[in-house]
Chains A and B, each alone.
Chain A
Amino acid sequence: MEVLLPEMILVVSVVLAILVPNIGDAKFRIPLTRVRVPIFVGGTRLKGTSDPRLPALISITAFSLAMFFSFFGVSADSSAVEIGGVLAVNSFSRMMSFVFYAALLLAAVAANYRLPARPSARAPRERDSAAQAERLVRSLMDNRRQVDFHILLMMVGLGMSLMAMASNLFFMFVAIELASLASYILVAFHKEEAVGGEAGAKYFIVGSVASATGIYGMSLVYLWAGDLDFDALAASWAAMDGYDPLAVIGLGLMLVAFGFKVSAAPFHLAAPDAYAGASSPVAGVLATASKAMGFVALLRVLLHVAMPDEGEAIWFVLLALIAIVTMTWGNLAALTSENPKRMLAYSSVAHAGYMLAALAAVGSGLGDDSTTRLVLVAIIFHLSVLVLFKLGAFLVLGLLEIEGRSHRLEDLHGLAHRDPLVAGSMFIFMLSLAGVPPLAGFLSKLLMINGIINISAGTGSTSADAIVPWAESVDPVFWLAVAIVLNSALSLFYYLRIALVMFFETPESTKPLRRATHLRNSIVTLAFLTLAFGIGSGADFLLELVQNAVSAF
């Protein structure tokens, strides 16, 4: 069972998070007797255990440990450990859970400042003024919400991690539902503003429809194959003569569900609303971990199951089109977005487009094993480093959110004057998102484009002696690379706009930012890592890790 240690830690932590704050001096009177047996749950809470900071401590510790052990799982040799026929623990799933845990850990740290715990809070007394009383009540409420939030966060982690290990389609869906349902609540958790509930509701409704569609698609596949084990499905797919409508429609409907998760057009529409309504750390999780989860699902279904040994996959054209529409839509919509969170949401849509394009290139069937691996490495690498800079950007917004709001561009005005270090980090995040070297975002984008070019550039006619004949002869996949670079250029507009307002505009308030030490340190660390994973030994190390993981896929 030690291979599931990280998940075990999470389960235990969830239980602890439920129990520990409730430890008190409650006694149980044995019925019909006067004997009171102390049961320690309930009653007047003990000072130590009822500290509102405790749940955060538990979740942070749990995520740290889980991350730590996951990391060792990646480095361990890649032989898979099968558990119960539905879980396969290998370096790939460990890599992904490592990424998930990292993202959630950062979110937990940030949430600590977003949902401040106030150990000093007490019930209002009569002599307190109305305003004071209200404040006290809110503090108490905040204290209560700590437990819920962190439990949900851990549930998300658990779901995602299990999902990455699933070797059975149904189990994967269940795990996704676990993560999704928890994340719906997390979105709605943003109660300080009127939009929190709305965001949660929309995200929930659209997400549920999508997953219902996905489950229905899965049921069709079950109807067709009679088994939902990936290997069995792959075998059935390979043995399929022509295309069975059940299989194809089932696959298509499942893509809807995954498409929602990765926020691919046209299933992405709820994503900007959700990100904008959720608190920044949660939005960050949605944009990174949740998206990574969707991609893992896509990879599993598309590459593991529905990829023919040779020739073009049935989903190739579809995915290529979706990719182009997604990246263009995302970038275009982000262009004039005045809400930084929405802008980052659209940017996240665009990034999904890039990765889908790379995936589509694999679907073209032009590449061989090594190019497929290259694309996979690119995608996983991108998903990993997204945690650095996409989440980093959300954390910066979270830092702003602590004392105000971050849903207007004006909130970022003059950040460079208020806090140069955070502004500098944000600048790095933005550049990395745009794919400017030498940052991690560049390397990952380069790997994706490189994968596409590797797959397609050799297809052009070598006898063509001018550009136009060559361009006519080359496989259209090549133009996906061009679409990506054009979109990158377009995306610079809005990424740089953030930098612009940070350095250029005068801030609305000249007060320095709150010294949220851990959050600030996290941000700076992420900025540093964005740089370190862009070039040199850091990038080399991460690439090796990813390569190791991909070889186990």
Chain B
Amino acid sequence: MIAASWIAGLGVILFGIGLVGAFSRKNAIVVLMCIEVMLNAANLNFVAGALHHGSVDGWVFAAIAIAIAAAEVAIGLAILLSLYSTQETISLDEATLLKH
């Protein structure tokens, strides 16, 4: 059995990757993926917590979080489509009509 701390550690790494990706990548789809990674880091923590504390809650939380992530991706893609339809770009650096 893998110790909960290892799982949580993986979570830290994933969260870091996700966060760094979120602000370093221009492509909105990639950023969306990074967000997914961050959410997965949280899922790992829930799982680790469930293991550590021996409660089921963590598993449930993780399952629901996955559902949230799915919804988020769906909504995200839809919104990005609408961005694309008006500005023909999904680069976050180029969609800057709104600023200052």
Verify that A and B bind, or say they do not.
yes
Task: From the candidates B15, B79, B86, name the one contacting A204 in the complex (CB within 8 A).
Answer: B79
Q: Restricting to B11-66, which residues have a CB under 8 Å from any CB of A?
A: 11, 15, 18-19, 22, 28, 31-32, 35, 38-39, 41-46, 48-49, 52-53, 55, 57-58, 61, 64-65
Residues of chain A contacted by B55 (CB below 8 angstroms): 226-227
Is residue A209 within 8 Å, beta carbon to beta carbon, of the partner chain?
Answer: yes
Q: Restricting to A169-226, which residues have a CB under 8 Å from any CB of B?
A: 170, 174, 177, 181, 184-185, 188, 191, 194-202, 204-205, 208-209, 212-213, 215-216, 218-220, 222-223, 226
B64 to chain A, nearest CB (A): 6
Contacts A184-B75, A226-B53 given; does A191 touch B64 at CB 8 Å: no
Is residue B10 within 8 Å, beta carbon to beta carbon, of the partner chain?
Answer: no
Give chain B's interface secondary structure class: helix
Residues of chain B contacted by A198 (CB below 8 angstroms): 83, 86-87, 95-98
Residues of chain B contacted by A201 (CB below 8 angstroms): 28, 79-80, 82-83, 90, 92, 95
Is residue A410 within 8 Å, beta carbon to beta carbon, of the partner chain?
Answer: no
Number of A interface residues at 8 Å Cβ cutoff, please give it. Answer: 37
Contacts A204-B76, A213-B38, A276-B98 given; does A228 touch B61 at CB 8 Å: yes
Task: From the candidates A177, A205, A219, name the one contacting B46 in the complex (CB within 8 A).
Answer: A219
A220 to chain B, nearest CB (A): 6
**Interface contact B61-A195, CB-CB below 8 Å:** no
**Interface contact A228-B57, CB-CB below 8 Å:** yes
Nearest CB in chain A to that of B97: its residue: A195
Residues of chain B contacted by A194 (CB below 8 angstroms): 86-87, 97
**Interface contact A197-B35, CB-CB below 8 Å:** no
Nearest CB in chain A to that of B46: its residue: A219
CA–CA, A57 and B75, complex, Å: 26
A514 to chain B, nearest CB (A): 26
**Interface contact A202-B82, CB-CB below 8 Å:** no
Nearest CB in chain A to that of B89: its residue: A198
A409 to chain B, nearest CB (A): 14
Task: From the candidates B39, B72, B78, B98, name the one contacting A273 in the complex (CB within 8 A).
Answer: B98
Binding site for B on A (CB under 8 A): 170, 174, 177, 181, 184-185, 188, 191, 194-202, 204-205, 208-209, 212-213, 215-216, 218-220, 222-223, 226-228, 272-273, 276-277
Binding site for A on B (CB under 8 A): 4, 8, 11, 15, 18-19, 22, 28, 31-32, 35, 38-39, 41-46, 48-49, 52-53, 55, 57-58, 61, 64-65, 68, 71-72, 75-76, 78-80, 82-87, 90, 92, 95-99
Beyond A198-B87, A223-B4, 10 additional contacts (C-beta under 8 Å) are A184-B75, A185-B79, A191-B82, A196-B86, A201-B28, A209-B38, A212-B35, A215-B68, A216-B11, A222-B57
